[in-house]
Amino acid sequence: MRIANHVVDLVGNTPLVKLNSVVKPGSGLVAAKVEYLNPGGSSKDRIAVRMVDAAEASGELKPGGTIVEPTSGNTGVGLALVAQQRGYKCVFVCPDKVGEDKRNVLKAYGAEVVVCPTAVPPEHPDSYYNVSDRLVREIDGAWKPNQYVNPAGPQSHYETTGPEIWRDTDGTVTHFVAGVGTGGTITGTGRYLKEISGGKVKVVGVDPEGSVYSGGTGRPYLVEGVGEDFWPQAYDPSIPDEIIAVSDADSFDMTRRLAREDGLLVGGSCGMAVVAALQVAEREGPDAVVVVLLPDGGRGYMAKIFNDKWMSSYGFLRSTLDGKTAGEPL
């Protein structure tokens, strides 16, 4: 019988699917790694499992302990799944700008959610960083995974995402393209693919215009989950051969096209990564095999990217959800 013992055992081994409609003729093959097919709906399930494994092994997380992390989304879901399996409590700290739906997802999985004001500087005692540090001090048996620093994050991608891509392309992958948030995905997956290919696989990081990886200063952008205004320890800048910056407008337009034309309802950082992957595939020509990682699904973005009014209010709307060109009467 093929029956998993627990949903956590279903993390990883996500499929690759060829992108069709959005790829320009004459380009290389573009294959998307569909991470929303992880049980918690994102690539963050992978790091959650490995961070908890490592903390158990080191004794930092003990039976009955509490996982405390500042997260509003995907990492929280992954941690909550692992916590359920192994009997830990979860307390997630998130800023009040995070919508009620997202908070309720975490609560639905059994986590406690502590909300902090967005409009205070990071050094303020009520800031989301300080509140999570205080909770770690106050709660007996608390452990903070800290995905921005924890080496088990990149290691999980080195041990799972990289080998899966090599296996599923029969070692023919020429380029790996992924968005950079904490940097764990690009660092771990990229390092594995470079090692196994003897340096042949080229690694392309993608970030929103304004973020530090492409030389920005942390100017605000609206794509979620990628880009930073500081350099996290989970990121090894020697791994990417190149960083491509993509605008919010191009990221969101491509995100909508992926749903409408290629059947992939995914998040905004996926559209962003695909814009860069298509540039690489066009530039490198028909012999290239470009793998692009799509971190999460689109359901969490219905009120934003998949909402014509929201898109229009930022000047991003190029065509409406019912397929009209923006500017035509709706």
The residue ranges that bind ligand PMP (CB under 6 A) are 74, 179-185, 224-226, 267, 269, 295-296
Q: Which residue is nearest to ligand PMP (CB)?
A: 225
| CB 259, min distance to ligand PMP, A | 15
Cα 196 → chain centroid: 24
* Strand partners of residue 290: 30, 175
Closer residue to ligand PMP, CB minimum distance, 16 or 326 = 16
Closer residue to ligand PMP, CB minimum distance, 155 or 182 = 182
Nearest-angstrom CA–CA distance, 47 and 218: 25
3-state secondary structure of 283: helix
Nearest-angstrom CA–CA distance, 253 and 296: 16
Closer residue to ligand PMP, CB minimum distance, 214 or 269 = 269
DSSP 223-264: -SS---SS--TT--TTS-SEEEEE-HHHHHHHHHHHHHHHS-
| CB 24, min distance to ligand PMP, A | 24
* Strand partners of residue 326: 328
| CB 224, min distance to ligand PMP, A | 6
Q: Is 44 a catalytic residue?
A: yes
| CB 310, min distance to ligand PMP, A | 17
| CB 269, min distance to ligand PMP, A | 3
Nearest CA among 254, 235, 224 for reference residue 190: 235
What lies within 8 Å, CB to CB, of 302 at 6+ separation is: none
Nearest-angstrom CA–CA distance, 221 and 194: 31
> What number of other Cβ atoms are within 10 A of residue 146's Cβ?
18
| CB 329, min distance to ligand PMP, A | 34
Please, what is the Cα angle at 242 between 240 and 247, to 5 degrees? 115
**Token code pair at residue 72:** 């509003």
Residue type, 19: L
Which burial class, exposed, middle or buried, applies to 207 when counting CB atoms under 10 A from its CB (0-12, 13-18, 19+)? buried
**Token code pair at residue 70:** 């500042």
Nearest-angstrom CA–CA distance, 68 and 89: 9
Pick the catalytic residue: 18, 24, 44, 202?
44
Catalytic annotation, residues = 44
